[in-house]
């Protein structure tokens, strides 16, 4: 996106891509369908340790409606909404159409795309920049855009080179961490539920931060995944990084789970005596039977007890488990499975309108190297497109 909009300004643009094909994170997004945009944007759901006001300025630089029009009208990629999850996909449901559409459009704008080009060093030189390549002649340029991604899913090409290079150039790098990554549990409480999925509300809290999300949730062989788990994972990741593995359990981040949309009063009504109806029967109406069995065991309630025979303390204990039960965790899948990297270059060191570095004139930064990320649902592509366009326009006009 940065290359496209820089080229539109009429300047000569070279795009250096380390892989043989490019856009690999596009290809794996959305299970190969590419969740290209969200249906709507809630700015409060972005996470940063930098200025929220600066973040909002960057987000608003290219409004959602204009981004959508770009893909549909300029790239010729029809989009469709998935209203239930507020996601936008290409109508073909093929991520390759998005990647190929961007590459094709960049070429029509005159961008010189060079695949299999591995950058090993960048340095300011004589009013411009020198870019050293592995086994190739170096490149010199007047302006340089760094769009190298973060540390997540390194086999797609993002191994942190850009972050290390920007740190060496004097930029402040706010602590990086895996975000939107599956959560691990070494307790056997839910081990029998691998493969079971449902919609839940999770709330993760630590002494310094919190996050909550309602969405799909999946039990795995090693813990938990699905949008709800991924969206709160950064709280436990950062708690682990900051506190260390030997921190007392009571001082660690905690994840509370509401297993269904029903709140306390709703469950009180569901557990009202009705003939010979059992506790198990009441739960099976609202959740998978296998999960109901585990939750009744946790709450120490006999599943075959009739609702009329359930004691008050049993009922309250079960409702607490159903509405705000604790989800045990022991770690996370890290960058290998993380969809994005949290942290990065402090936003205060970048001009919000042009994405130009405040430390190095002629250097522009965009995307995942910056200290911001959004939730599941197209937010991180939205961030990539918006900051990429701004950097391209800024570099083209400089």
Q: Strand 363-365 and strand 144-146: pairing? A: parallel
In whole angstroms, give the CA distance from residue 294 to residue 360.
57
pLDDT, residue 282, reads 96
Q: 262: how many CB neighbours lie within 10 A of its CB?
A: 17
Q: CA-CA distance, 70 to 381, in Å (whole number)?
A: 14
Instruction: Give me the pLDDT at residue 247, please.
Output: 62
pLDDT per residue as tens, the chain (398 positions): 999 999 999 999 999 999 999 999 999 999 999 999 999 999 999 999 999 999 999 999 999 999 999 999 999 999 999 999 999 999 999 999 999 999 999 999 999 999 999 999 999 998 899 999 999 999 999 999 999 999 999 888 889 999 999 999 999 999 999 999 999 999 999 999 999 999 999 999 999 999 999 999 999 999 999 999 999 999 999 998 888 766 656 568 999 999 999 999 999 999 999 888 999 999 999 999 999 999 999 999 999 999 999 999 999 999 999 999 999 999 999 999 999 999 999 999 999 999 999 999 999 999 999 999 999 999 999 999 999 999 999 999 97
Tell me the pTM. Answer: 0.94
- How do beta strands 210-219 and 223-225 pair? antiparallel
pLDDT for the residue 252: 85
C-alpha to C-alpha distance for 23 and 96, rounded to whole angstroms: 9
Q: CB count, 10 Å around CB of 242?
A: 15
Domains of the chain, start order: 2-178+337-397 (3.50.50.60), 182-332 (1.10.8.50)
CA 210, chain centre distance (Å)? 16
Contact 374, 83 (CB under 8 A): no
pLDDT confidence of residue 241: 87
Look at residue 242 in the predicted model and tell me its pLDDT.
Answer: 87
Compute the distance between CA of residue 396 and CA of residue 398 in angstroms, rounded to an integer: 6
3-class SS string, the chain:
CHHHHHHHCCCCCEEECCCCCCCHHHHHHHHHCCCCEECCCCHHHCECCCCHHHHHHHHHCCCHHHHHHHHHHHCCCCEEEECCCCEEEECCCCHHHHHHHHHHHHHHCCCEEECCCCEEEEEEECCEEEEEECCEEEEEECCEEECCCCCCCHHHCCCCHHHHHHHHCCCCEEEEEEECCCEECCCCCCHHHCCCEEEEEEEEECCCCEEEEEEEEEECCCEEECHHHHHHHHHHHHHHHHHCCCCCHHHCCEEEEECCCCCHHHHHHHCCCCCCCEHHHHHHCCCCHHHHHHHHHHCCCCCCCEHHHCCHHHHHHHHHHHHHEECCCCEECHHHCCCEEEEEECHHHECCCCCEECCCCCEEECHHHECCECCCCCHHHHHHHHHHHHHHHHHHHC
- Going by C-alpha positions, the residue among 184, 214, 267 that lies closest to residue 376 is 214
What's the pLDDT tens digit per position in 191-246? 999 999 999 999 999 999 999 999 999 999 999 999 999 999 999 999 988 887 66
Q: Whole-angstrom Cα distance, residue 339 to residue 218? A: 16
The whole-number pLDDT of residue 157 equals: 84
Contact 322, 262 (CB under 8 A): yes
The pLDDT, as a whole number, for residue 21 is 95
């Amino acid at each position: 996106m940065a290359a496209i909009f820089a080229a539109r300004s009429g300047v000569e643009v070279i795009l250096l891509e380390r892989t043989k094909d490019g856009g690999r994170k596009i290809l794996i997004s959305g299970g190969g369908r590419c969740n290209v945009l969200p249906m709507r944007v809630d700015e409060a759901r972005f996470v940063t340790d930098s200025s929220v006001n600066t973040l909002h300025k960057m987000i608003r630089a290219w409004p959602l409606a204009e981004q959508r029009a770009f893909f549909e009208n300029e790239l010729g990629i029809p989009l469709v909404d998935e209203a239930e999850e507020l996601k936008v996909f290409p109508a073909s449901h093929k991520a390759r159409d998005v990647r190929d559409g961007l590459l094709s459009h960049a070429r029509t704008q005159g961008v010189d795309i060079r695949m299999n080009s591995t950058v090993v060093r960048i340095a300011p030189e004589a009013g411009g920049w020198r870019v050293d390549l592995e086994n190739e002649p170096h490149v010199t340029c007047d302006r340089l855009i760094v769009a190298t991604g973060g540390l997540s899913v390194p086999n797609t090409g993002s191994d942190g080179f850009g972050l290390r290079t920007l740190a060496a150039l004097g930029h402040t790098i706010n602590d990086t961490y895996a975000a939107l990554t599956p959560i691990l549990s070494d307790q056997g409480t839910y081990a029998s539920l691998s493969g079971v999925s449902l919609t839940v509300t999770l709330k993760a809290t630590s002494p310094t931060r919190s996050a909550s999300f309602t969405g799909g949730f999946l039990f795995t062989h090693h813990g938990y995944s699905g949008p709800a788990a991924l969206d709160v994972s950064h709280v436990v990741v950062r708690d682990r990084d900051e506190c260390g593995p030997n921190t007392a359990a009571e001082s660690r981040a905690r994840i509370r789970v509401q297993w269904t949309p029903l709140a306390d009063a709703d469950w009180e009504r569901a557990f009202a005596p009705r003939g010979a109806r059992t506790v198990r029967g009441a739960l099976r109406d609202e959740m998978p039977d296998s999960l109901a069995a585990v939750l009744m065991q946790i709450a120490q309630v006999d599943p075959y007890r009739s609702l009329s025979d359930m004691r008050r303390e049993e009922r309250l204990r079960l409702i607490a488990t159903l509405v705000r039960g604790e989800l045990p965790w022991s770690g996370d899948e890290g960058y290998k499975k993380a969809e994005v990297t949290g942290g990065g270059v402090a936003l205060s060191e970048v001009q919000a309108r042009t994405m130009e570095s405040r430390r190095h004139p002629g250097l522009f930064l965009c995307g995942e190297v910056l200290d911001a990320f959004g939730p599941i649902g197209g937010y991180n592509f939205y961030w990539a497109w918006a900051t990429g366009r701004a950097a391209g326009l800024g570099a083209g006009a400089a």
